[in-house]
Chain A
Amino acid sequence: MFKRTFSHMFTKPATTKYPFVKPTLPEGFRGKPEHTIKTCNMIDLSGTQRELGFDVQALVNTNCTVCCRDCPASAITIVEVDGKKRPQFDLNKCIFCNQCVESCSRDAIKGSKNYELAAVDKSSLVIKPQPNAKEGKKQ
């Protein structure tokens, strides 16, 4: 033990000095689920694009609500927006298991590597789908 501790006086520490140095994440890291809305209906959510929000192009849901049924933490609720049923993600409850990513048969939800999700206000972590006045392209 003596030799090992003595040699440590001259070696670099093993600490990663987060938050000054960010770690590199592997592919497939399960971060925030991102609802990719493919070109479809009127709902164009790019107006609500925030760093914290989804990457949104257009919506492709088939009203199947599988993501809501399969979520273990009941973090997805279905809200009615403009006559279509859309998922609303509550990141306060999400456990980042990415089961919704697997269940969606249309690949509308993708995982991302975003993990720095701390917020001061709980309601800002509820990702609501919002209607937009602009018409989207029809599928």
Chain B
Amino acid sequence: MSNKIDIINVVKSKLGDKVQIQLGQLGTAAINTNNGLHRDVLKALLEADEKTGITAISGVDLGVNLGVLYHVHTSNAFVTIRAEVPKDNPKIQTIVDLIPGAAFHEFEVSDLLGVIFVGNELKGHLVLSENWPEGIFPLRKDVKATEVKLNPAPVEEKAPDMGKLVKIIIGPQHPALLEPEKFAVTVDGEIVTKVEPRIGYVHRGIEKASESRTYIQDVYLVERICGICNACHAYGFVAAVEKILKTEVPERAKYLRVVTLELNRLHSHLLTLGHAGLEIGYETLFQYFWRDREPIMDLIELTSGNRVYASLMTIGGVRRDIKDTDIPKIKTTLEDLRKKLPFYRQVYENEPSIKARMRNVGTLSREDAIKLCVVGPVARGSGYDIDVRKDDPYEAYGQIPFNKIVYTEGDTWARMNVRMDEVEESINIIQYAIDHLPTGPFRIDVPRNVIAGESISRNEAPRGELFYYVKSNGTAFPERVKVRTPTFANIPSFLKTAIGENIADVPPNFVSLDPCFSCTDR
């Protein structure tokens, strides 16, 4: 498909008048369906392009009905399929048989909004806790979060006797995990046979909370979904709101945003590379990486005022400018980091204990990567070359030259190498952006009440593609904010790659996904 519109024409030719196509809305096009035609549209897209996958499934409370939006990405287009179900009978056909990676997304809509996907019903809860009362769905408009009464804590059942299989529970509190999640790993001796995840320990209800705060307050709220990729969250929300307002940000603001996002990517990749060393018992490498990460934190403090939460994005631009006196310091710090990279590359290439622990561990093939809809370095390490900065350029990325890093081995070692090379690319991007900063204002004023509308935004967080869907209704408060974080899309791949491997391989495998559970649970 060379042109984005081609794939839309394919759908139009196959389904004709049964669906309504609105070009330019919610991506390349929004396709309104009813009577369960979403499966046919999806089938048409899948036949036309094998790299079709689900980015997210949003549920919206529309009053009488519940809206279910399927956000589908293809090689170069982004299509949203709209469907509606009535609230008193919220059943809709599942799409898990077409795209296996949609399972988790459907579970989430079931859990939070009460939509029943026929063929993929949710047992228990996904992000809500065990003692959440039945039948109350928090994202519906009539539910007030403060008035929900929780059930008493459930009694833990005695585990059935499994013979010689041992069930090891990794988490919620565990030294291998930075944040709490529970993975019940069933082992036979030392080989893993099954992994059962339970997420939702860090669920704070941010999507619901954002509906009762103004847009300005929401920028800070969504920033705190994750500490490591905070700039990307803030940017995702701000970009979606600016699309609703149809404002164009000044050029200087675009370049400054690129600098912030790339600094965020730098510190996050260095964090992961060090953390991977810690998981395989290599403390020395961990300390070295984090020592080299400190100057980047100082740079973030220099440009934004704080080491972790940059809080630079705002609706209409950025909050502060880079002073010309600071630019030489930024450049020297980045050059120092660039000089240290060959040492780390050589360690990854030649060190025997790293190769023994990381090679051929957690291999994900390219077909599995496409079917499970993984994103970010996990996908790029398996040969699936998606990168939102190149496929769908935003801000100033269209004007800055850089390379897409793809490795084909698909194991832990490949994913770590992807991140290492991306560190170098980020340094190049920041230096180019600083050298070519356009003059002009860095912020424009926007009204506080946002006109009614809806829009999406995608950007490349350090862990993968981050997706935002914002719907506004003309007041100062948003109607619905939906966040789909990259780790949420990557967890199903871990459930697949861990099977058949040693239990000792589970931590390095897991860390190579770069899990961020605050993002996953929101």
**Interface residue tally for chain A (C-beta within 8 Å):** 21
User: Once the chains are docked, how many angstroms separate the CA of A102 from the CA of B443?
Assistant: 12
Contact A70 B216 (CB under 8 A): yes
Contact B220 A99 (CB under 8 A): yes
The 8 Å CB contact of A1, one of B220, B302, B351, is: B351
Contact B306 A72 (CB under 8 A): no
- Given A5-B284, A97-B220, is A26 in contact with B291 using a C-beta cutoff of 8 Å? no
A99 vs chain B, min Cβ distance (A): 7
The 8 Å CB contact of B217, one of A14, A26, A70, is: A70
B296 vs chain A, min Cβ distance (A): 14
Contact A30 B306 (CB under 8 A): yes
- Given A1-B347, A28-B320, A70-B216, is A98 in contact with B284 using a C-beta cutoff of 8 Å? no
The 8 Å CB contact of A99, one of B216, B306, B320, is: B216
User: Once the chains are docked, how many angstroms separate the CA of A102 from the CA of B351?
Assistant: 51
**Interface residue tally for chain B (C-beta within 8 Å):** 26
Tell me, yes or no, whether A22 is within 8 Å of chain B by CB.
no
B51 vs chain A, min Cβ distance (A): 39
Contact A96 B216 (CB under 8 A): no
Contact A72 B320 (CB under 8 A): no
Contact A97 B284 (CB under 8 A): no
Interface string of B298-315 (1 = CB under 8 A from A): 100110111001010000
Contact A29 B217 (CB under 8 A): no
B198 vs chain A, min Cβ distance (A): 30
Contact B305 A72 (CB under 8 A): no
Tell me, yes or no, whether A4 is within 8 Å of chain B by CB.
yes
Tell me, yes or no, whether A108 is within 8 Å of chain B by CB.
no
User: Once the chains are docked, how many angstroms separate the CA of A70 from the CA of B298?
Assistant: 28
Contact A97 B301 (CB under 8 A): no
User: Once the chains are docked, how many angstroms separate the CA of A98 from the CA of B216?
Assistant: 12
Tell me, yes or no, whether A95 is within 8 Å of chain B by CB.
yes
- Give the residues in chain A near B405, CB-CB below 8 Å: none
Contact B305 A98 (CB under 8 A): yes
- Give the residues in chain A near B221, CB-CB below 8 Å: 72
Contact B305 A29 (CB under 8 A): yes
A 94-122 contacts with B by CB, 8 A? 95-99, 102, 111
A5: nearest residue on chain B (CB-CB)? Answer: B284
Contact A14 B302 (CB under 8 A): no
Contact B347 A72 (CB under 8 A): no
The 8 Å CB contact of A30, one of B213, B224, B298, B305, is: B305
- Give the residues in chain B near A25, CB-CB below 8 Å: 301
User: Once the chains are docked, how many angstroms separate the CA of A133 from the CA of B429?
Assistant: 59
Contact B284 A72 (CB under 8 A): no
User: Once the chains are docked, how many angstroms separate the CA of A111 from the CA of B343?
Assistant: 41
B278 vs chain A, min Cβ distance (A): 16
Tell me, yes or no, whether B319 is within 8 Å of chain A by CB.
yes
Contact A95 B220 (CB under 8 A): yes
User: Once the chains are docked, how many angstroms separate the CA of A97 from the CA of B304?
Assistant: 10
Contact A14 B291 (CB under 8 A): yes
A 68-87 contacts with B by CB, 8 A? 69-73
Contact A102 B343 (CB under 8 A): no
User: Once the chains are docked, how many angstroms separate the CA of A21 from the CA of B79?
Assistant: 56
User: Once the chains are docked, how many angstroms separate the CA of A69 from the CA of B311?
Assistant: 18
Select the residue from B214, B217, B219 with max chain A CB neighbours within 10 A. Answer: B217
- Give the residues in chain B near A14, CB-CB below 8 Å: 291, 294
B351: nearest residue on chain A (CB-CB)? Answer: A1
- Give the residues in chain B near A26, CB-CB below 8 Å: 298, 301-302, 305, 326
Select the residue from B213, B301, B347 with max chain A CB neighbours within 10 A. Answer: B301
Contact B217 A72 (CB under 8 A): yes
- Give the residues in chain B near A28, CB-CB below 8 Å: 305, 320
A70: nearest residue on chain B (CB-CB)? Answer: B216
B244 vs chain A, min Cβ distance (A): 20
User: Once the chains are docked, how many angstroms separate the CA of A28 from the CA of B351?
Assistant: 43
Contact A72 B213 (CB under 8 A): yes
Interface string of B276-306 (1 = CB under 8 A from A): 0000000010001001001000100110111
Interface string of B305-333 (1 = CB under 8 A from A): 11001010000000110000010000000
User: Once the chains are docked, how many angstroms separate the CA of A14 from the CA of B293?
Assistant: 12
B88 vs chain A, min Cβ distance (A): 37
A105 vs chain B, min Cβ distance (A): 12
User: Once the chains are docked, how many angstroms separate the CA of A129 from the CA of B366?
Assistant: 63
Contact A96 B306 (CB under 8 A): yes
A73: nearest residue on chain B (CB-CB)? Answer: B220
User: Once the chains are docked, how many angstroms separate the CA of A69 from the CA of B213?
Assistant: 10
- Give the residues in chain A near B216, CB-CB below 8 Å: 70, 72, 99
A-B contact pairs, 26 of them (CB 8 A): A1-B284, A4-B288, A4-B343, A14-B291, A25-B301, A26-B301, A26-B326, A28-B305, A29-B305, A30-B304, A30-B311, A70-B216, A70-B217, A72-B217, A72-B220, A72-B221, A73-B220, A95-B309, A97-B220, A97-B309, A97-B311, A98-B311, A99-B216, A99-B220, A102-B319, A111-B305
Q: Which B residues fall within an 8 A CB radius of A?
A: 213-214, 216-217, 219-221, 224, 284, 288, 291, 294, 298, 301-302, 304-306, 309, 311, 319-320, 326, 343, 347, 351
Task: Across the A-B interface, give the 7 residue pairs with the lowest CB-CB distance, nearest first.
Answer: A30-B305, A72-B220, A72-B217, A26-B302, A14-B291, A28-B305, A97-B311
Given contacts A30-B305, A30-B311, A72-B219, 11 further A-B contacts (CB under 8 A): A4-B343, A25-B301, A26-B298, A28-B305, A29-B301, A72-B217, A72-B221, A73-B220, A97-B311, A99-B216, A102-B319
